[in-house]
């Protein structure tokens, strides 16, 4: 269970590689955790020692198909991604919606953020088509650094919570099944 709590693996799918670097800049950056911070807290009265903020592990794909393969491999290796940021338009391959449909076939627990620079999408259609709107968020480009960081942070937490809830449900179901069998045997 511990491994699941700590899953900070993020997958970015965008046809523009410059955007990969944008995500890396934001998510792979550890927040001011210099060694100096400790000495600073000892020297100055009004400085508190800062907590270490864990950074994320970011992988990138430039087409939906490639992202799909990476999700497959991650599932096989039992190292699932917690969150995927998927661009809406990625010519010439799958668009964002099609990509997300494929990703969820492989990994239904994946939290997804759809990124878009366009306002011409009928979001009702997108959400209806994906029909799982509690695991889907929308991020408009150009995005702010803190927006992306917060999304990644809260969605990785949400991923862990939903996995935990799911495994508890499974335990419960198993227990119920065993009890049912016992009852059958007893009668």
Partner 1 sequence: MATTTVFPREMEMNAISTKGGESVFHKMRNVLNSVHVSAGLINQQLREFHMDDVGRIADMLEAHEDNVGWYLTQDPKGKKIPHFLGQLSQELRQKHLETLTELTTLNYYLEQMEYVLTAGHAPERAGGFKDTVHFVAVMDEAVMAHQGELDRMGIEVVRDYCVMGEGILEVARLRPIVVSLIRNAINAMREATARAHRLVLHVMPCPDRDGFVRLQVEDTGCGISSDCLTRVFSPQTPEMQSDLLPNLYASALAAKDLGGSLRVWSDGPNQGAMFTLDLPVIHMEDTQ
Which residues would be at the binding site for partner 1 (CB under 8 A)?
15-19, 21-22, 24-26, 28-29, 32, 34-36, 39-40, 42-44, 89, 91-92, 117-119, 140-146
What is the token pair recorded at 181? 């069998």
Nearer to partner 1, 51 or 185 (CB): 51
Burial 5-37 (b: 16+ CB within 10 A, else e): eebbbbbbbbbeeebbebbbebbeeeeeeeeee
Consecutive H or E run containing 76: helix 64-76
Nearer to partner 1, 14 or 104 (CB): 14
Nearer to partner 1, 19 or 82 (CB): 19
Nearer to partner 1, 32 or 182 (CB): 32
Nearer to partner 1, 88 or 103 (CB): 88
| Shortest Å, Cβ 89 to partner 1 | 7
| Shortest Å, Cβ 163 to partner 1 | 29
| Shortest Å, Cβ 70 to partner 1 | 12
Give the β-pairing of 83-87 and 136-140. Answer: unpaired
For residues 60 and 28, is the Cβ–Cβ distance under 8 A? no
Closest by CA to 152, choosing from 17, 25, 18, is 25
CA angle 174, 177, 178 (to 5 degrees): 90
| Shortest Å, Cβ 141 to partner 1 | 5
| Shortest Å, Cβ 44 to partner 1 | 6
């Amino acid at each position: 269970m511990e491994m699941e709590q700590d899953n900070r693996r993020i997958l970015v799918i965008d046809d523009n590689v410059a955007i990969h670097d944008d995500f890396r800049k934001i998510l792979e950056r550890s927040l001011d955790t210099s060694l100096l911070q400790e000495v600073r807290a000892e020297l100055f009265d009004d400085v508190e020692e800062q907590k270490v903020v864990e950074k994320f592990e970011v992988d990138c794909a430039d087409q939906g198909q490639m992202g799909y393969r990476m999700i497959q491999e991650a599932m096989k290796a039992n190292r699932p991604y917690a969150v995927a940021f998927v661009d809406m338009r990625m010519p010439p391959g799958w668009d964002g919606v099609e990509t997300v449909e494929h990703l969820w076939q492989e990994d239904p627990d994946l939290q997804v953020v759809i990124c878009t620079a366009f306002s011409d999408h009928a979001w009702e259609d997108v959400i209806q088509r994906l029909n799982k709107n509690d695991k889907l968020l929308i991020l408009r480009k150009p995005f702010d650094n803190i927006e992306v960081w917060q999304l990644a942070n809260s969605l990785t937490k949400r991923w862990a919570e939903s996995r935990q809830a799911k495994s508890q449900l499974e335990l419960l179901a198993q227990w119920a099944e065993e009890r049912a069998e016992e009852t059958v045997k007893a009668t």
